[in-house]
Amino acid sequence: MTANTPLDGIRVLDLSRFIAGPLCCQILGDMGAEVVKVERPGGEDARKHAPFHRGQSVYTMIYNRNKHGATLDTRHPAARDLLERLVRISDVVVENYRPGTMEKMGLGYERLRELRPDVVLVSISGFGQSGPQSGRALFDAIAQATTGLMSVTGTGEPTLTGTYIADYVAAYHGAMGALLALLHRERTGEGQHVDVASFDALFAALGTRPSAYAMLGETRGRNGSRDLLTAPANVFPAADGFVYVHAGTDPLFPRLCAAMGRPELAADERFRGVPARMAHVEELEKAVTEWTSTRSCEEIAETLTAAGIPFGKVAEIPEVVESPQVAARDMLLDVEHPTLGTLKLPGIPIKLSGSPGAVRKPPPLVGEDNAYVYGELLGLDEAEIERLRTEGAI
């Protein structure tokens, strides 16, 4: 445990797998909580996901640092007692089973409250603990499909984003929900059940589209990389790549025109004001493309920087990883693992000036900390731990 971290003294029992739950717990762990990750003997299914570093899944590495790894077969007769003992010493329990699974295990919220009255249970599921679809399984892509995100992404067919955006957004909401519940507990002494649905979290991130339809009957299809509200704001081709230029506001547009050597465009009636530019966006983007396509990304960057116009080169992953900005912000960390060597893991996005988070422990191997969890935390002796191992319980 690191002193002066926001969650020093808080223990989290992580019963989750894949991304949303594990990342939620990792965020809490980064901020000082002691996290005990419980997975089945042999490891969770996600450990089979590529890519692999020295035989271990990088996929699981980036969601499971700052955790003690313990194994437990939840179907074994001894599992219920072990889980209940872990609940008694935990402040927060995080699970992302399908709704009803914890109840079938005999560990629904009411039972958890009997074990520890002030416990905070964070349940991250696909469609939440209520509603007509609550019993359905959901993966990230299904969330993107069912919330409508795919219908507004891309330019042709409905398109997935390039990352597991629903899982990430659900994880952030889960971590925030846990923190809010802990604050409530500090003030009242009461625990509570935090219900986070991937569907809800992603739906809430759709911007103006749901409200525009609900209030105005307005629908918009796929818009590619073009901004919905202002123009020009889109990806434009350069001579050696692509650049996103955002000069759609009324103060920025004349600056762009001057930078392009086309000051007359700012006075053109077709482009005077945001509504006019949006009505003639195709013509406007053609003019910008004529300028960008004959210049390198570096030339465009120099010109737009001097003009004070927001822009960004469309970077490939290797370029971003090696960028000085990532280095300056510590967003790719060297984490030493005793058997896997140096791991390159994502940094901590939340920068606290007085009580910063830290990576204190590399992601655990399967069952790496069984002796600590069952011995030191639960007080089992070596003979009992060995018996549970021999019986296949852990």
We report the CATH number of the domain holding residue 343 as: 3.40.50.10540
pLDDT at 3 over 70: no
Domain, as residue range, for 246: 233-318
Catalytic residue among 140, 167, 195, 200: 167
User: pLDDT at position 4, please?
Assistant: 81
pTM assigned to the model: 0.94
Rg of the chain over all Cα atoms, to the nearest angstrom = 25
134 plus 281 within the same structural domain: no
Does residue 250 have an active-site annotation? no
- Percent of the chain predicted with pLDDT > 90: 97
94 plus 169 within the same structural domain: yes
Measured in Å, how far apart are the chain's first and last C-alpha atoms?
Answer: 25
**Amino acid residing at 44:** E
d(CA 125, CA 378): 29
Task: State how many domains the chain has.
Answer: 2
| pLDDT per residue as tens digits for the range 147-185 | 999 999 999 899 999 999 999 999 999 999 999 999 999
- Check: CB of residue 373 under 8 Å from CB of residue 68: yes
**223: in domain:** no
- Check: CB of residue 128 under 8 Å from CB of residue 134: yes
Exposure of 349 by Cβ count < 10 A (0-12 exposed, 13-18 middle, 19+ buried)? exposed
Which residues are within 8 A (CB) of 72 and not within 5 positions of it... i.e. 6 or more apart? 38, 39, 40, 41, 79, 82, 83, 393, 394
**287: in domain:** yes
CA 303, distance to chain mean position in Å, is 35
| pLDDT per residue as tens digits for the range 27-37 | 999 999 999 99
pLDDT at 1 over 50: no
| pLDDT per residue as tens digits for the range 57-114 | 999 999 999 999 999 999 999 999 999 999 999 999 999 999 999 999 999 999 999 9
195 plus 251 within the same structural domain: no
Residue 106's CB: how many other CB atoms inside 10 A? 11
**140: in domain:** yes
Please compute the mean of the pLDDT values over residues 138-145 and round it to a whole number. 96
Q: How confident is the model at residue 220 (pLDDT cuts 50, 70, 90)?
A: confident
